[in-house]
Structure 1
Amino acid sequence: MSTDSAVDRTAPEADVRTVELRIEGMTCAACVGRVERKLRKLDGVDATVNLATERATVRHPAGVPVTTLVETVQKAGYGATEIRPAGAGDTGDEATSDDTALRRLRTRMAVALILFIPLADLSLAMSLVPSLRFPYWQWVVVALALPVVGWAAWPFHRTAVTNLRHGTTSMDTLVSLGVLSASAWSLGGMAFVDGRSTLTGWDAVLHPSGPLYLEVAAGVTTFVLAGRYFEARARRTAGRVMRSLAALGSDEVTLLRDGGEDRVPVGRLRVGDRFLVRPGERIAADGVVETGRAAVDTSAMTGESVPAEVGPGDPVTGGTIPSGGRLVVLAEQVGADTRLARMIAAVERAQTEKSATQRLVDRVSSVFVPVVLGLALLTVAGWLLGGAGWVGAVGPAIAVVIIACPCALGLATPTALMVATGRGAELGIFVKGHRALEATRAADTVVLDKTGTLTTGRMTVVDVAATGGDTAALLARAAAVESGSEHAIAAAIRAHAGPDVAAVEDFAALPGLGARGVVGGRTVVVGRPPDDTGPLADRVAEWEAAGHTVVAVHVDDALAGVIALADPVKESAPVAVAELVAMGLRPVLLTGDRPAAAHAVARACGIDDVVAGALPDDKVAHVRALQGTGRTVAMVGDGVNDAAALAAADLGIAVGSGTDVALEAADVVLVRDDLRVLPATVELARATMSTIRGNLWWAFGYNTAAIPVAMAGLLNPLLAGAAMALSSFLVVTNSLRLRRAASWADEALGGTRTPAGEEPTDYVEARP
């Protein structure tokens, strides 16, 4: 088989599939690397494994069945099952499986703790107060320790044996070896050495049983189980947001067919189907309201506290809930194509993706365990050569094996990323990958589009002027052409012209310029006005001075009239821009609108740098120019004409109400209709990257500093076990702090989630 880890790029893309596998039994980054290597040995297979989520994302040729992938993982010594797409609203069996595993782990930890406490007390008492010793007290210690080192520690032993059969090692190998070594040495000491302690003072506290290390074996087992339990709880907590998002979908939908209603599973819903949504039901798919009016609660998806009123012709999003009215909706996007499904997929991809740092960690961990075992043998040899004897040599070696477990190293990055993406989803921030977080933290310039980004995007026609005086005919022709466009200006013109719109032929969108079509046999172009608007120049100048957007209508290449539109600035825009400036970022307004309108918006928002009249290519060129001066650029936009600039920028941020093209081109999607979520994104990214660096510093520094101390005999094996478990606990706890990142945003953005123990604070006062 080929060892090439990349998917065969010569194969047609249609022949390459992606599957999600749930991996059981992974304990450290070394396990991650082993699973990835085994899968990548299959021809044309590429795999990315995440320890925190216990998932593998595998891209494989159609000729490689999923059963082969599962068997490959199982042969490597781990459990594997395919994660099948759950029906909308169904969180699947994964949560139940996690709960079961958590209960089993808690039971083992509880039994170990119950037995370890009297074991440690007895060992300490017998060592410090010899007069309390009674015949065969050592065997009481054995009776208390064996259930712990046998049954409670059985998962470690089982995994270690499985790894040994496959010629590999993992963190469980170190734990099992440490526990068994301490137990075997203790039992051997009871059989061949006087088990009474001859140590006094602090040495007796650190080595309670003298040559016996049973309390060490039981303590290590208890501490590691406790660490695993809290890690599992942390992963369970971090995954709640994903399960909550998945639960927003519907299981069933009421289809309208042949004049009747048919209740069917949501998987049978197709594009073009008409379905009924009753008050209180979740909307099953993205679509457009055909009949009915209702107030739609979007808080679960976007956090918006005020329901949005919808009626015929208005778009609705799957996962939202209407109240006060029945809606008949025409499905436009179903299944995996809905906005909810794409948001969930984006967060899952972000949690699975690895940074360059994490890949380095995986490579280091793959050789870490063999190196530690070698250091343990070297420790024994060194102490024996130093004349310490076997009693003095075994203790430091056991401490080396226990203290070096690299679980903290493997959890440092994925746990932080998992918590951060979940927190982002709560705030209405959907991050598509680790690179996006890195780029957000590094950004020093924010380029903002105008319409739909800084402004509401809900434009209204405020005035019309026609060269021939017939404004009604002008509006009718413009509305007919704009019926094929999804831009905010097009929607405003259609709404102002009324429901009766003439048919358009040969429609063509002109990115950055407008739209063209044939109406009633005449070619009509709606778009940017020319520099010379002839007799309408004074009207155009007056409108532009007021900050209005001006659209020109040409009929058969002749200027027929102009339309003035107003698009108010979002209330949140000036505050958001001020926050970005306070964070050290430079805001730039980049728009295709005319200079007068652009500068009016810039003044309202507090932006000094303005580039107006920019076509899509101009926007890309300006982003490139900023990058050429050493700037790290974040581009924020929502329209088709922003897509190229979003892709060209170091970081593309799309406003969730924007077009599908913009959403696909962006690295981050903001689903809230509140621009204050933008500085919250920056703060979350900075906090995440800081947390990851802190985790890695601790994990690397801990092992680097602790192993030499253990080799020198300065670290008792019992304390080593506690320190190793504490290391993982600290990494996970540090990552969980990200759940409170940008906590001011919960109240400022109209949410209801306020951190415990804190009073709601004003957005500006709470600025970090």
Structure 2
Amino acid sequence: MKKERFTVTGMTCSACSARVEQAVRKLAGTEEVSVNLLTNSLQLRYDEQQTNPAAIIAAVEAAGYGASVKGAKAEQPAPAEDPLQRHAAEMRSRLIWSVAFLLPTLYISMHGLFAQLFGLPVPALVRTVFDGPENAITFAFAQLLLVLPIMYLNRHYYIAGFRNLFHGAPNMDSLVGMGSMAAAAFGVFAIFRMSWGFGHGDLALVAAYGKNLYLESAGMIVTLITVGKYLEARAKGQTGQALEKLMRLAPQQATVVRGGKECVVPVEQLAVGDEVVVRPGERIPADGTVVSGETTLDESAITGEPMPALKRAGDRVTSGAMNQRGAIHFRAERVGEETTIRQIIRLVDEASASKAPIARMADKIAGVFVPAVILIALAASGIWLALGASVEFAFSIAICVLVISCPCSLGLATPVAIMVGTGKGAENGILIKSGEALETLASVDTVVMDKTGTITEGRPRITSVMPLGIPREELLAIAAGLEAGSEHPLAAAVLSVAAEEGVSSRAMTGFAAALGRGVEARADGHVYLAGNERLMAERGIGLAPVREKLDALAAAGATPLLFAADDRLIGLLGAADEPKATSREAIKRFHALGLSVVMLTGDNERTAEAMRARMGIERAIAGVLPEHKAAHVKELQAAGHRVAMIGDGINDAPALAQADVGIAIGAGTDIAIDSADAVLMKSDLLDAVNAVRLARAVLRNIKENLFWALIYNVVCIPLAAGVLYPALGVKLSPVIGAATMSLSSVCVVLNALRLRFFRPAHAAAEAGRRREAAEVIHNAKEKKEGSMMEKTLKIKGMMCAHCQQHVHDALSKMAGVTNVTVDLAGGSASVEATREIPQQEFAQVIADAGYELVG
């Protein structure tokens, strides 16, 4: 199945989008057809053996609309060529000219009423030319001549409206066009009747029709609708601002080193392996790894992380990030459409064009709405004629019903909210792939999360080494040899502790992995094992001698790594993976949202229980192999729960796919994970909380919009039909109907735009993150050399190069200080001064700079 997007032209309301969607669904081999009124797009999957783009375009055209394949350039238009903004500009020009012709029309038709109501003087020339039965034809023709340009400027309503009517698919344009054209036609008919009256000396007939021309209504209806459409277009233009900002992050050119020389090339010409040069003030044009240089990057627009990131040789860089300080050379590894920024743009664009399940209700209503309104208009006018009302009265009722009905608000209720919501998520590093995922996420009641790399840092460290019958160095050498070829986080911890103690790994061969249990290898005629209790039990190696030690490690929340030679245990290492600074706060917020939290881990029950208690989680499922995580998710679903699974997006792929909503966390440069419905650009569980909050806000907004759209039509259509006229004498005019209809659509769009004020809840966790990141070992020393003083200060709270500079500047300004060196990595500062400076003075200066002196 191939996924394709098309641009659809000519749609104006939800009846249009429903008709296009219905026409395409009828084609064999099409699936997941979604038509978005807001973005004028069609998105679907189709079997290339059964249909093709030409057939899809033909189906859309047969329905009365235009279509074309949305190519790469159309998918990512330059902000200056944004179609929504261009449409708003065109609408503004049309509106200005319409108002220019409408104002004199209104003055001519209503100058007498203005004089009565507001005491406005009427020039003698106006009275001479337009007042009195003798001037009735002049009065009518003047209005007709002024209304015709208005109708021409807004001819779209008539052309598209009647075309769709004749195709058997009337839409909002049909209602507006019919109402305005009927008013104009009645005015022309009135001119003929007045001409007849003059020719036959029937001045009473002339006077009667001279007061019921409806010509100003013909111009007023389309002008007021255009006012609403212009305001709507402006508001809709704002919905795409997040996408526009993302587009601006993608550089158009890059500086590369080829043949030993620097040259500037379009980003489309970048190739994998190119050496790219990025200087201060430039954006990273591709994903890659720093080869040389050092700088700080502002990645906030990509990840939502406000703190600049320090980058040195070997560090990864992400496309779209802004280079702040130094110049770097990096090797391009992902270019073109594979870069992070391009994938983000594509995901946000596709999500904004998708449809939430709740939109199906609006589509079903829209499919019958316009025909029903036309029937109501005809029935209402017929009933009033049967009750003895005048033709003019019944005619006014029909026009009012036609123009007050608003299918636009139904069509805009969901796509505007989804576009704003997904755009707002992207601004904060939360990528939600579709409207369906957004709606489902809002309704989950259970959150299942992996432990390693999700709740914890995913970088365990060895906290204890317990050899059994062999020297410590030998145990570490064997452990390092077994883990040398593994990419598992625990292997990295083992290799790290061996390197720290200066132990070389023992060379081994014949590696064999036991998935989820450990590894086996051979050296010096022995078979060595490294793994968990399950592996040792399978090999018949008893653990009774170390049971107390295993229990103690588990109670402390550490994971035991067992090592055996042949059939005997030779030692164990304890590894602890510390929770992320924000994990506990995130879990607390999940509970506040009414969600149950379940932790899945491959650790033993005691280790899992220690982490569960520490994090405040209701339930922990221990000893879970990667391939069994999906089964546990399925069990929860079978029990009636709607489940969101949070994992790293790779090992947890089956569980992510099984869950109602899969959330990939910590996948900053691998954002196109097919198994996940949402991707968090940072390894921060608080973003998962914000994703749920955002989804609920969007769904609530959609329901508000649909309620407004439905209640508006339920109340206004009967009023327009005159149900209150017999009892209260209340009757809406066509002009008021048109104004009310425009207001309805504008209100729906403005309500959706409130989502732009959504703010992520990170404030409470930021302090914890800073404390966790800035933990240091207390160690200070003082030394005097004559009148000079040298002091090393341990400072808590420095996180980036900016912090380093702030501390340097603050200390340098102290009286007597002659030299300051700040070590960001070590969390310390060395100060030389010509006087003895008390510790309290240092503490005050550091505190004033926003940090803490701890030694």
Tell me the TM-score normalised to structure 1 length.
0.83
Answer with 209-218 or 299-308: which moved more: 209-218
| Cα distance in 2 for residues equivalent to 1:505 and 1:126 | 104
Q: In the alignment, is the contact (CA less than 8 A) between 1:195 and 1:209 conserved in 2?
A: no
Match status 1:717 vs 2:711: no
Q: Aligned AA for 1:722?
A: A
- Matched to 2:39, the amino acid is T
Deviation at 1:241, TM superposition (A): 1.0
SS in 2 for 1:247: helix
> Tell me, what secondary structure is at the counterpart of 2:129?
coil
Give 1:684's aligned residue. 694
Question: Given the alignment, which residue of 112, 115, 125 partners 1:126?
Answer: 112
The 1:507–1:273 alpha-carbon spacing in structure 2 relative to 1, beyond 3 Å, is farther
Amino acid at match of 1:80: A
SS where residue 80 of structure 1 aligns?
strand
Query: In the alignment, does 2:755 pair up with 1:738?
Result: yes
Aligned to 1:200: none
Residue in 2 aligned with 1:606?
A: 616
Shift in CA distance, 258/518, structure 1 to aligned 2, threshold 3 Å: farther
Task: Please give the residue correspondences for 1:629-644 in structure 2 after superposition, counting only pairs within 5 Å.
Answer: 629-638=639-648, 640-644=650-654
Query: Which amino acid in the other structure matches residue 474 of structure 1?
Result: I
SS at match of 1:456: coil
CA distance 1:457–1:65, shift in 2 (3 Å): same
One-letter identity of the residue aligned with 2:638: G
Moved more, 291-300 or 256-265: 256-265
Is 1:57–1:352's contact at 8 Å kept on the other side of the alignment?
A: yes
* Range with bigger deviation, 600-609 or 430-439: 600-609
User: What aligned pairs does 1:261-660 form with structure 2 within 5 A after superposition?
Assistant: 263-271=264-272, 275-467=276-468, 468-469=470-471, 470-482=474-486, 485=487, 487-496=488-497, 512-514=516-518, 526-529=530-533, 530=536, 533=543, 539-553=549-563, 559=569, 561-638=571-648, 640-657=650-667
> Paired residue for 1:111?
97
Give the corresponding residue for 1:34. 19
Letter in 1 for 2:4: V
The C-alpha deviation readout for 1:591-613, integer Å capped at 9, x for no partner, is 22233433333333222322222
Per the TM alignment, residue 106 of structure 1 is displaced from its structure 2 partner at its CA by 0.9
Cα distance, 1:342 vs. partner?
Answer: 3.3
Question: For the Cα contact (< 8 Å) 1:251–1:265, is it kept in 2?
Answer: yes
Q: Distance in 2 between matches of 1:522 and 1:251?
A: 59
Q: Distance in 2 between matches of 1:744 and 1:210?
A: 62
CA RMSD of aligned residues (A): 3.7
Distance 1:21 1:249 in 2: 23
Q: Which residue of 2 aligns with 1:756?
A: none
SS at match of 1:547: coil
Structure number with the bigger relative contact order (C-alpha 8 A, sep ≥ 6) is 1
Give the direction of change, closer, same or farther, for the CA distance of 1:178–1:53 in structure 2 (3 Å limit): same
Contact 1:481 1:524 in 2 (8 A): no
Question: Following TM superposition, by how much is the alpha carbon of 1:440 offset from its aligned partner in structure 2, in angstroms?
Answer: 2.0
5+ residue gaps, structure 1: 1-15, 197-206, 752-768
**Cα deviations across residues 682-720 of structure 1 (Å, max 9, x unaligned)?**
221111111111211222222233222222363221111
Q: Which structure has the larger Rg over C-alpha atoms?
A: 2
| 1:250 aligned partner | 251
Indicate conservation of the 8 Å contact 1:477/1:524, yes or no: no
2:177 counterpart of 1:176:
yes
Q: CA deviation digits over 1:425-458, x for unaligned, max 9?
A: 1222111222322222222222222222222223
Partner of 1:12: none
Within 1, Cα distance between the matches of 2:340 and 2:530?
Answer: 30
- Specify the alignment match of 1:147 in structure 2: 149
Look up the equivalent residue of 2:285 and give its one-letter code: A
Matches within 5 A, 1:161-200: 161-164=162-165, 166-193=167-194
Tell me the distance in 2 between the aligned counterparts of 1:503 and 1:280. 48
Which is further off, 372-381 or 494-503? 494-503
Aligned to 2:69: 82
Q: Alpha carbons of 1:658 and 1:277: their partners in 2 closer, same or farther (altered >3 Å)? A: closer
Return the offset for 1:389.
Answer: 2.9
* Residue 136 of structure 2: aligned partner: none
The answer to whether the 8 Å contact 2:445/2:642 transfers is: yes
How much does 1:158 deviate?
2.6
**Contact in 2 for aligned 1:189/1:195 (Cα 8 Å):** no
1:433-484 Cα deviation digits (max 9, x unpaired): 22322222222222222222222223333344445331442353244222xx
- Deviation of the 1:655 alpha carbon: 0.8
The aligned amino acid for 1:727 is S
Relative distance call for 1:528 and 1:246 in structure 2 (3 A) is: farther
> In 2, are the aligned partners of 1:545 and 1:596 still within 8 Å (CA)?
yes
How do 1:49-60 and structure 2 match up within 5 A?
49-60=35-46
In structure 2, the partner of 1:699 is 709
Change in Cα spacing, 1:37 to 1:609, as seen in structure 2 (3 Å) is: closer
Q: What is the Cα deviation at residue 233 of structure 1?
A: 1.9
The residue type equivalent to 1:711 in the other structure is A
Is the CA contact 1:123–1:209 (under 8 Å) kept in the aligned structure 2? Answer: no
Partner of 2:217: 216
2:320–2:341 Cα contact (<8 Å) kept: yes
3-state DSSP of counterpart to 1:309:
strand
Letter in 2 for 1:146: L
For the Cα contact (< 8 Å) 2:377–2:402, is it kept in 1?
yes
Distance 1:724 1:438 in 2: 28
Residue 175 of structure 1 deviates from its aligned partner by 0.9
Distance of 1:644 and 1:17 partners within structure 2: 23
Inter-partner Cα distance in structure 2 for 1:662 and 1:168? 39
Distance 1:97 1:234 in 2: 13
AA in 2 matched with 1:50 = N
Counterpart amino acid of residue 650 in structure 1: D
C-alpha distance in 2, partners of 1:434/1:619? 26
CA contact under 8 A between 1:481 and 1:515: conserved in structure 2?
no
- Contact preservation (8 Å) 2:478, 2:505: no
1:22 lines up with 2:16 in the alignment: no
3-state SS in 2 of match to 1:728: helix
Q: Contact conserved, 2:582 with 2:765, CA < 8 A, in 1?
A: no
Structure 1 stretch displaced more, 159-168 or 574-583: 159-168
SS of the counterpart of 2:652?
helix
Structure 2: state its 5+ residue gaps: 132-138, 198-207, 726-730, 770-855
Give yes or no for contact 1:638–1:658 (8 Å, CA) kept in 2.
no
Aligned equivalents of 2:225, 2:712: Cα separation in 1 = 16
CA distance in 2, matches of 1:489, 1:24: 56
- Indicate conservation of the 8 Å contact 2:456/2:580, yes or no: yes
Q: What is the percent sequence identity of the aligned residues?
A: 37
Deviation of 1:415 (Å): 1.2
Q: Which residue of structure 2 aligns with residue 3 of structure 1?
A: none
How far off is 1:253 after superposition?
3.9
Distance of 1:288 and 1:502 partners within structure 2: 31
Residue aligned with 2:747, SS? helix
Contact 1:683/1:741 (<8 A) preserved: no
Q: Deviation at 1:739?
A: 1.3
Q: Which amino acid aligns with 1:678?
A: A
Contact in 1 for aligned 2:666/2:684 (Cα 8 Å)? no
Q: Does the 8 A contact of 1:174 with 1:405 survive in 2?
A: no
Comparing 272-281 with 679-688, greater Cα deviation is found at: 272-281
Supply the distance in 2 between the matched residues of 1:86 and 1:462 (Cα, whole angstroms): 54
User: What amino acid does structure 1 have at the position aligned with 2:617?
Assistant: I
Q: Residue 724 of structure 1: CA displacement? A: 0.8
**Equivalent-residue separation in structure 2 for 1:333 and 1:646 (angstroms):** 25
Residues 215-237 of structure 1 show CA distances to partners (whole Å, capped at 9, x for unaligned) of: 32232222211221222222221
Tell me the distance in 2 between the aligned counterparts of 1:287 and 1:507.
32
1:154 partner amino acid = R
